[in-house]
Structure 1
Amino acid sequence: MERALTLLDCFDETSESLTLAELARRSGLYKSTILRLATSLERFGHLVRGSDGRFRLGPALWRLGSLYRRAFDLAETIRPELKVLVDETGETASFYVREGDARVCLYRRNSPKAMRHHLSEGARLSLEGGASAKVLLAFGDDPADHDAGVRASGHAISLGARDPEIAAIAVPVFGPGRRLRGALAVSGPLSRFDEALRTRALAALEAAAARLEARTPPPHE
């Protein structure tokens, strides 16, 4: 099971299809092992091998991803707020949740500008650096991760932390009982993230988070 998951984890937004050799290099598995695992993964719809011999993620993962996102029951309220954030700031707006030792971009609306911070929904990113990562850690369940400065200010800013050309600002979104639901963020090229934009983005984020908290249903048990 672990080796099969390692195989699936080789794919990302920049590598939507991979050759057998690429899978072997990324996973560290023998080609014979990969072919054996691929047979089972294809049978259950988790992997597809095209006529060109390249492997792609299968439709079963889309179904599972849809179920994962549906479990949060937030899309109908979050997507309109992301649009408002983009309209008010001109930059990309995102909603992140923590999943183990990573953060997942659950919902996203990209900036209409040609030069922008682009990321696909479902992308997994590290919890090291990045405004949304700081918020998820600071307001999460583990006191050891709490950043007093972020908790006191109620937001986090990153200027080139994860990517030297990208800046972002994020705020927490809480549910009933002040339980953290995720991080709402605005991000864009560092060259455009001057103090005026940061001030405008923070005000827009705080207003959006307040509206979301007023409409967010209790988390599923």
Structure 2
Amino acid sequence: MQTHEKDRSSENVRAVNRALDVLLAFTRDDFELSATDLLQRVDLSRPTLYRLLYTLEAKGFIASVGEPQRFRLGPAVARLSHVWTETQDLALIAEPILRALWAETRETVALLVPQGLLRYCIAELPSPQPLVFKRGVGSSERIARGASGRAILAHMVDSGQQIEHYTEGLDIDLAKLRRELQATRERGYAVSRDELIEGAVAVAAPFFDSKGVAGSLGVFGPATRLNDRVVATWGRRVVEAAGQLSQALGVPPPLREPSHGGNRP
């Protein structure tokens, strides 16, 4: 490749990087920015910024509105977002996060998603130890029962009527459930003992996508191994892993976390 071709290629790469920096300057809170706002976020001269903005606008990635002029993301971004969302395999995205958690805890780890009044297991890695608690991919349970369900439910309900809907037909103390859901929100993870399987302990944390809570990530094991100290340790670790999955699904990390960890969109 000749020198001037290399220079042109290098300049094209720089232009792409700068254009991406402009697009990434927009957030859910700062969805509409002026040129001055953008200059505070990207390291560009004003003429270069405007050239990039007009190019991005011509391709539909930026839209300009109002007077004085302000900018926001355009319809081309929405099209790409739709394609990305529709083609994602949640279990595939979560697999390296699940496997890292499994290797660290040496307990059964699972990925669960809500559907109506239930939550379903869509991925599971059984513990390599002799005493194993597992439910299996495809298994389901009411979302109000067990740590992996309540980790989700804690971010789905905000009224007594909603809680009653999810607990209809179940022998559950609603006052106790409300306290458990509040504790789950505060510490970032849910815990259950001897609830679905005698002798089993579960620790689970919610993960999120752009629409809100999308499911939970849980660790399951026998009470002989998961004492209170281990539960607290794995709880913090599950919160961290769930946060990584949320970020992989496009949710930025929280500005402030609860004192024991957590992740909210």
TM over 0.5: yes
Please name the residue that 1:101 is paired with. 117
Please name the residue that 1:181 is paired with. 214
Say if 1:88 and 1:204, in contact at 8 Å, map to a contact too: no
Please name the residue that 2:135 is paired with. 119
Deviation at 1:142, TM superposition (A): 5.6
Which amino acid in the other structure matches residue 192 of structure 1? R
Please name the residue that 1:60 is paired with. none
Which amino acid in the other structure matches residue 123 of structure 2? Y
- Pairing partner for 1:205 from 238, 245, 250: 238
Say if 1:103 and 1:126, in contact at 8 Å, map to a contact too: yes
Say if 2:134 and 2:220, in contact at 8 Å, map to a contact too: no
Deviation at 1:72, TM superposition (A): 6.1
Please name the residue that 1:81 is paired with. 97
- Pairing partner for 2:202 from 135, 159, 168: 168
Question: How far apart are the structure 1 equivalents of 2:116 and 2:219?
Answer: 23
Say if 2:101 and 2:109, in contact at 8 Å, map to a contact too: yes
Which amino acid in the other structure matches residue 217 of structure 2? L
1:139-194 per-position Cα deviation (integer Å, ceiling 9, x unaligned)? 115643362222222211001111221100111101126x0010110011122111
Say if 1:89 and 1:200, in contact at 8 Å, map to a contact too: no
Say if 2:144 and 2:153, in contact at 8 Å, map to a contact too: no
Task: Describe the SS at the equivalent of 2:224.
Answer: helix
| Structure 2 residues without counterparts, runs of 5 or longer | 1-85, 164-177, 252-265
Deviation at 1:121, TM superposition (A): 0.5
Which amino acid in the other structure matches residue 141 of structure 2? L
Deviation at 1:73, TM superposition (A): 2.4
Task: Describe the SS at the equivalent of 1:191.
Answer: coil
Say yes or no: does 1:134 pair with 2:167: no
Instruction: Among all aligned residue pairs of Structure 1 and Structure 2, give the percentage whose two residues are the same amino acid.
Output: 27
Root-mean-square deviation (CA, aligned residues, Å) is 2.1
Tell me the matched-pair count: 148
Which amino acid in the other structure matches residue 153 of structure 1? R
Say yes or no: does 1:150 pair with 2:184: yes
**Is the alpha carbon distance of 1:181 and 1:77 closer, same or farther for their aligned partners in structure 2, counting shifts above 3 Å?**
same
What TM-score, normalized by structure 1, do the two folds share? Answer: 0.61
| Structure 1 residues without counterparts, runs of 5 or longer | 1-69
Question: How far apart are the structure 2 equivalents of 1:124 and 1:72?
Answer: 22
Say if 1:132 and 1:183, in contact at 8 Å, map to a contact too: yes
Which amino acid in the other structure matches residue 197 of structure 1? V
Task: Describe the SS at the equivalent of 1:167.
Answer: strand
Within-5 A mapping of 1:25-104: 73-104=89-120
Please name the residue that 2:59 is paired with. none
Say if 1:94 and 1:108, in contact at 8 Å, map to a contact too: yes
